[in-house]
Amino acid sequence: MADDSSHKHRQKRLRRGSGDEEDLLAGRSSALSESSSSLAEGDPRTFRLRGVPLDWSVDDVRSFLEKNHRSSVPIIRSLAHEIDGQSKTSTITFEGTVSLPTSMWYLPLPKLFETQPAREVPLDDNFYGITTLFAPPLEDHEVDVIAISGLGGHAFGSFKERGRNYMWLRDALPNDLIGDKAHRPAARVMIYGYESTTVGSRNMQNLEDLATSFHSSLLALVDSPSMKPIIFIAHSLGGLIVKQVNKQAIIALSKSQSKSDSQLIQAIYGLIFFGVPNSGMDITSLVPMIGDGPSRPLIDAISSINSQILTMQQREFPSALGGVEDSEMFCFYETLESPTAQNVNGKWSMTGRATILVTKFSATHCRPWESGPEHICAVARTHSDMVKFGPEDHEYSKVRQRIKGLARRASLKMDPLSPDPGQSEMFKDLQGQSEFLGS
């Protein structure tokens, strides 16, 4: 049995393992973040329970967790069907002390009868892969929204309000995208997580590797009961991964005539980018932290100087999703400077020169026909905070208006994807209003 100090160390490591973690582009490594105020011990943590039986309700999940974790009170924040239709996923916070042996905990499901095979479900806080935060009933479902975080970020925590449990993708967006026909939420909202630690990491993945993994996860949407138009919400490096996915899907389609890739490309209609370094960024403050470690090629790939992959993306991406009538893109850029890291007496601290990490030019240099103010918008936040919105946040109102219009047009434009041509009634009450601003 481990001693008490070892137990406390594991508990502390778990609490710091996810949540309100800074994007590495803001100058924070995972090691550095452990001592930052944004990851204080009292900061709320959100956990994910996967493999929840389809017939379970919120009360069933709560009762199950209470029996398996008696030292704290579980609060069920969401419960949604996963894209494979085989199970549900729940997001959970706990009141009281959270003490788990590792960052992944397997809980045994109760047996309905004695001869039933034993089955366990995982409780974790890493949120790797696709997690569904909200799923409307099939008859209401009209559009898919998928959010992806940046380098050194966290699939859930990067979009969560600091110091609170509020997460706008889960707690606001579903209720903002209401279908006109049923007057109920019509968008399935998902997040995608990936291993993105770089400082001290042994992972040699590059941008193409990250895009390949994301691409594989997205193909599950093709096999889901109903294919719907897709809107990507991407922060920082996440946007470069989305762009690379589009490029790889087109290449796969041209070489193998893949039906799945064809359906995936056809479904992608909207892109909403936050601080995406399309033309690269200044990596000067990052290189000393990374050194010549395995993740150095990934950092070099996002440099504003001589990045071959970004140059290729700039050349090929504008036509990847067709022309003006085939898809839409909105770009948000930061206006507040972010602190950077510097080495003080052998230790990294957030005391370096403050700067704009991704310039307006780089964050908005995407497709030439979307360079006007209707497609480009400032967010008065730092690079990391530009995707952290609170309730009634005035910065979120800018985003909400654009997503609402984008979702409506995606639903109408992509209607042939639906088996029922008359199904798309989404946002008809918005049709007489501003077409591009979505207001």
Residue 51 Ramachandran class (φ > 0 left, ψ -120 to 50 alpha, else beta): left
Give the rounded distance of the alpha carbon of 43 from its chain centre: 20
Report residue 236 as tokens. Answer: 């920082």
Asked if residue 264 has pLDDT above 50, the reply is yes
Q: Give CA separation, 50 vs 45, 133, 141, 331, in Å.
A: 17, 12, 22, 33
Domain assignment of residue 439, yes or no: no
Domain assignment of residue 411, yes or no: yes
Q: What is the CATH number of the domain that holds 371?
A: 3.40.50.1820
146: domain range?
126-430
Domain assignment of residue 162, yes or no: yes
Domain assignment of residue 34, yes or no: no
Name the 3-class secondary structure at 157: helix
Domain assignment of residue 116, yes or no: no
Domain assignment of residue 141, yes or no: yes
Question: Mean of the pLDDT values across residues 329-333?
Answer: 96
Question: Mean of the pLDDT values across residues 327-335?
Answer: 95
Tell me the backbone φ, ψ of residue 184, rounded to 5 degrees.
Answer: -135, 160
Name the 3-class secondary structure at 80: strand
pLDDT of residue 20: 36
Q: Which of 155-169, 319-333, 417-431 has the highest mean pLDDT?
A: 155-169
Q: What is the pLDDT of residues 40-74, one digit of tens each?
A: 345 678 999 999 999 999 999 999 999 987 778 99
pLDDT of residue 10: 33
Domain assignment of residue 213, yes or no: yes
Residue 360 host element (H or E): helix 360-364
pLDDT-derived band at 422 (thresholds 50, 70, 90) equals: very low
**What are the DSSP E strand ranges found in 1-87?**
47-52, 72-81
User: Cα–Cα distance between 347 and 35 in angstroms, integer?
Assistant: 11
Asked if residue 250 has pLDDT above 80, the reply is no
User: Cα–Cα distance between 21 and 46 in angstroms, integer?
Assistant: 12
User: Cα–Cα distance between 409 and 248 in angstroms, integer?
Assistant: 26
Q: What is the pLDDT of residues 266-295, one digit of tens each?
A: 899 999 999 999 999 888 777 777 767 676
Cβ-contact 329, 370 below 8 angstroms: yes
pLDDT of residue 212: 92
Domain assignment of residue 48, yes or no: no
Asked if residue 123 has pLDDT above 60, the reply is yes
CA-wise closest residue to 286 among 20, 30, 29? 29
Environment class of residue 360 by beta-carbon count within 10 Å: exposed (0-12), middle (13-18) or buried (19+)? middle
Asked if residue 8 has pLDDT above 90, the reply is no
Alpha helices in 236-336 (DSSP H): 237-256, 259-267, 287-290, 296-301, 308-316
Cβ-contact 90, 48 below 8 angstroms: yes
Give the residue carrying structure tokens 């309700």: 57
Cβ-contact 63, 107 below 8 angstroms: no
Asked if residue 28 has pLDDT above 50, the reply is no
Q: Which residues are CB-neighbours of 356 under 8 A, at least 6 positions away?
A: 334, 335, 337, 338, 383
pLDDT-derived band at 237 (thresholds 50, 70, 90) equals: very high
Asked if residue 425 has pLDDT above 90, the reply is no
Q: Which of 188-192, 235-239, 429-433 has the lowest mean pLDDT?
A: 429-433
User: In 3-state terms, the chain is what percent helix, strand and coil (to 5)?
Assistant: 35, 20, 45
Report residue 405 as tokens. Answer: 């219009």
pLDDT of residue 385: 96
pLDDT of residue 270: 94
Asked if residue 372 has pLDDT above 90, the reply is no
Asked if residue 429 has pLDDT above 60, the reply is no
Q: Which of 18-32, 275-289, 397-411 has the lowest mean pLDDT?
A: 18-32
Dihedral angle, C-alpha 219, 220, 225, 228, nearest 10 °? -50
Q: Which amino acid, one-letter code, is at 187?
A: A
Q: What is the pLDDT of residues 36-45, one digit of tens each?
A: 323 334 567 8
User: Looking at the 3D structure of the chain, how many domains does it have?
Assistant: 1
Cβ-contact 37, 339 below 8 angstroms: no
User: Cα–Cα distance between 157 and 131 in angstroms, integer?
Assistant: 13
170 or 311, greater pLDDT: 170
pLDDT-derived band at 331 (thresholds 50, 70, 90) equals: very high
User: Cα–Cα distance between 256 and 420 in angstroms, integer?
Assistant: 29
Cβ-contact 192, 129 below 8 angstroms: yes
Give percent of the chain above pLDDT 90. 48
pLDDT of residue 179: 82
Question: Mean of the pLDDT values across residues 343-360?
Answer: 85
pLDDT of residue 43: 62
Asked if residue 411 has pLDDT above 90, the reply is no
Question: Mean of the pLDDT values across residues 181-205?
Answer: 81
Residue 212 host element (H or E): helix 207-222
